[in-house]
Structure 1
Amino acid sequence: MSHEITLARPYARAAFGLARDADAFAAWSDALAFSARVAADPQVRPLLGHPALGDEDAVALLAPEGAQGEFRDFLALLARNGRLALLPEIAGLYEDLRAEAEHVVRAKVTAASALPETELDAIRAALKRRFGREVHLETAVDEALIGGAVINAGDVVIDGSLRGKLARLQSALAG
């Protein structure tokens, strides 16, 4: 995985620079997200490296409808360099660069069950106080957590799950 990230980083920076210069962060986010979803599809992924798939066909397959010329050119560059399979990593790195430029923290809240909006607002407010930035929350449900939630915000992980508490208790009793 780290190898893919290393290869994807210069392309993500290039995409970010193009988006910044065109003042089109949101449009590039949407286009990259679409292309990344298509590239990650199990039926599409094997096609991306196939020699019979020409660059123009690859761009037509991966570009969202109505994609601007610069984005299509970007996909063509990836195709020429054999890097289309990196689109999911490129999209993720691009979003990190965008969040940094817009002074936003992206956080993921994984809970044992769906959280009510009031709790999400409280989590968002607490993270905003902690990081001094706007917070965009993504939510997920993982019943294996038993109860509580795990919050991932950048390099910070806050494990308030019952599974995490049990694991810490077990470790303390064993040590």
Structure 2
Amino acid sequence: MSQALTLARPYARAAFALAREAGALPAWSQALTFAARVAAEPQVAALLGHPALRVEDAVELLAPEGADERVRRFLALLAENKRLALLPEIADLFEALRLEAERVVKARVTAAAPLGPAEIEKIKAALRRRFGREIEVETAQDPSLIGGAVIDAGDVVIDGSLRSKLERLQTVLAS
């Protein structure tokens, strides 16, 4: 995995530079995410590794409809260099660069019960104050948390779940 990241990093940086120069970061992000999802499919992955696959066919398969010509040329470069298998890593690294450039933190909020729009807004406002950046929130549900929520925002994890509080209480009582 670390070798794949090492190989993918210069391609992600190059894609980011091209997208930034064109003022098309969101479009590139969508195109690379689409291409990465397609390339990760087992049947497609086997096809992409086939020596008889032409570069043009690989680009046609991976490029989303209406993709910018620069995106298509980037995918062609990956195909020519036999690096299409790195698309998932390239897309992830590109997304991290985009979020950093746009000063956005992506947070995943896992709660015991569904969260309403007002609760999500409160969480976003608190995270905005903490990080000084815009926040993109993705929500998930995990009933095993019993109550509360766990917020994962990059390097920061805030565990406010009832389950973890009960576990800490149990540890204290057992000592």
Give me the TM-score of the superposition, normalised by structure 2: 0.89
Structure 2 segments unaligned to the other structure (5+ residues): none
Shift of 1:114: 2.2
Q: Distance in 2 between matches of 1:54 and 1:48?
A: 9
Aligned to 1:82, the other structure's residue is in SS state: coil
Given residue 21 of structure 1, which amino acid in structure 2 is its aligned partner?
Answer: E
1:123 corresponds to: 123
Alignment partner, residue 77 of structure 1: 77
Distance 1:88 1:163 in 2: 34
Quick one: which amino acid aligns to residue 18 of structure 2? L
Deviation at 1:170, TM superposition (A): 4.9
Code of the residue aligned with 2:99 in structure 1: it is A
Can you list the C-alpha shifts for 1:131-164, whole angstroms capped at 9, x where unaligned? 1111111122233433322211121111222333
Structure 1 residues 53, 137: closer, same or farther in 2, change over 3 A? Answer: same
| 2:98 aligned partner | 98
- SS of the residue aligned with 2:43? coil
CA RMSD of aligned residues (A): 1.9
**Matches of 1:108 and 1:54 in 2, distance apart?**
40
Relative to 1, partners in 2 of residues 1:173 and 1:45: Cα closer, same or farther, differing over 3 Å? farther
- How far apart are residue 174 of structure 1 and its match? 6.1
Alignment match, 2:54: 54
User: Is residue 114 from structure 1 mapped to residue 133 from structure 2 by the alignment?
Assistant: no
Alpha-carbon displacement from aligned partner over 1:50-107 (angstroms, at most 9, x marks no partner): 2232221111110001111110111111112222122122111111111111111111
Deviation of 1:41 (Å): 2.1
TM-score by length of 1: 0.89
Instruction: Please name the residue that 1:63 is paired with.
Output: 63
**Structure 1, unaligned runs of 5 or more:** none
The equivalent residue for 1:164 is 164
The 1-side partners of 2:15 and 2:124 are apart by 29
Distance 2:142 2:42 in 1: 23
Over the matched positions of the two proteins, sequence identity in percent amounts to 70
| SS of residue matched to 2:164 | helix
Cα 1:39–1:141 change in 2 (3 A) is farther
CA separation in 1, counterparts of 2:55 and 2:11? 17
Aligned residue type for 1:81: N
1:124/1:78 Cα in 2 relative to 1: closer, same or farther (>3 Å)? same
Query: 1:66, 1:32 → 2: CA distance?
Result: 13
What amino acid is the match of 2:52? Answer: A
